[in-house]
Amino acid sequence: MRVERARSPLVALEGDLARIGAREVAFLAQVSVRVRPPVDALELPTEPNTWATDGERELLWLGPDEWLAVSETLPADQLAGRLERALAGAPHAVVDVSAARAVFELRGGDRLDLLSAECGLDLHPRVWRPGVCAQTLLADVDALLQEREGSTRVFVRPSFAAHVVRRLSAGIG
Amino acid sequence: MLLIRCPWCGPRDEVEFRYGGQAGISYPSDPDALSDEEWADYLFMRDNPKGEFRERWVHAHGCRRWFNAVRSTVTHEIRATFPIGEEPPA
Ligand SMILES: [Zn+2]
C-alpha cells in the first residue's frame, strides 16, 4: 500500500540527476520471479540479457531461471498476484523486491558515452540497443541496465545510488 | 585483464567474476565411511597441473551463475567455458 507521504530513495538527488539528464523512476513495482522455463502462461524472454513487455509489465532476464518483473502501472502486490496466478502449477518463487533497487532513467543523446566512462560493457549502439538489459558493474558497484527506446534505466542498491550518480556526473565536468 | 566468456552473458571483464577452485569434486556419497585421511583428501587436496585445468568460476557481478572453465595455468588462456554438468568441447 502506497503511503501518501512516502519518500522515494532518490528525492535528495533530484538536482544531481538533472545534471546528467536523468530523473528518478520512483516507486517502480519490482518483483523477482524464479521458475524453470518454459511457462505457458508467461512470455519469459529466454535469450540472456534481453527484456520483453506485454504493455502492463516488463520482464527482464536476470539468469536462466530468474527474471525481474517491473511495472509502472500495477502496484507490486497486484503485479506479484498476477505472476503467482500465471505460474500456478510450476515450482516457482515470486517475491516483491521493490525496495531492493533505486531506479533512474537517463534520456540524453550522450547517455551511453556517459555510462561507458564508468562501465566495462560494450555499450555501442551496434550491440546495445532497445530490448537489451544487463547486470554488470557501474562505477564499481552492481547495477542492472535496461535499454529502452530513447532512454536507459539504471537499477542500483538505494544506498549506492548517490555514489553512482556522483561518479556519472564527474564525467561531464 | 582477462576477458571471460560467461556461458549465458558472453564475454565480460574478469572483475565481474570470482574464482571457485578445481571443478568436478563431488561430495562423498557416504561421508561416514571415509577415514580421516580420505576426508582430508576430499577437503584440502587439489590438483595443481602445469597446463590445462578444469575449474569453477561464478559470474558474481552479472547473472550470478556458476560454470566450469578449462584454463591453462601457464598462459591463462581459457579454452572453453560451459555450464556445470556438461562436458567441454573437444
Ligand atoms: Zn553471466
The predicted-structure confidence for B31-58, as pLDDT tens digits, reads as follows 999 999 999 999 999 999 999 999 999 9
Q: Which residues of A touch B7 (CB under 8 A)?
A: none
Dig out the grid coordinates for B18 from the structure: 570470482
- Mean pLDDT over B72-83 rounds to 97
pLDDT over 90 at A87, yes or no: yes
Residue B13 lies in a domain: yes
Best to test chain B binding among A34, A49, A122, A138 (most B CBs inside 10 Å): A49
| H or E element, residue A15 | helix A14-19
Residue B45 lies in a domain: yes
Domain count, chain B: 1
A54 within 8 A of A45, measured Cβ to Cβ: no
pLDDT over 70 at A3, yes or no: no
Could you give all domains of chain A from N- to C-terminal order, each with its CATH number? 11-26+101-170 (3.30.1360.120), 29-99 (3.30.70.1520)
* Residue A62 amino acid letter: L
Residue B50 lies in a domain: yes
Residue B14 lies in a domain: yes
Q: How far apart are CA A39 and CA A63, in angstroms?
A: 15
Q: How far apart are CA A136 and CA A121, in angstroms?
A: 7
A153 within 8 A of A96, measured Cβ to Cβ: no
> What is the pLDDT, as a whole number, of residue B12?
97
Question: Residue A150's Cα: distance from chain center in Å?
Answer: 15
Point out the residue among A48, A121, A142 whose CB comes nearest to the CB of B8.
A48
**Domain carrying residue B44:** 3-22+39-83
Give the domain CATH number at B13.
3.30.2270.10
Q: Which residues of B touch A135 (CB under 8 A)?
A: 61-64
Task: Supply the mean pLDDT for chain A.
Answer: 95
> What is the pLDDT, as a whole number, of residue A172?
74
Residue B30 lies in a domain: no
Q: How far apart are CA A133 and CA A154, in angstroms?
A: 10
CA–centroid distance, residue B6 to ligand 1 (Å): 5
Instruction: Select from B49, B88, B58 the least CA-distant residue to B70.
Output: B88
- Model confidence at A2, in pLDDT bands (50, 70, 90)? low
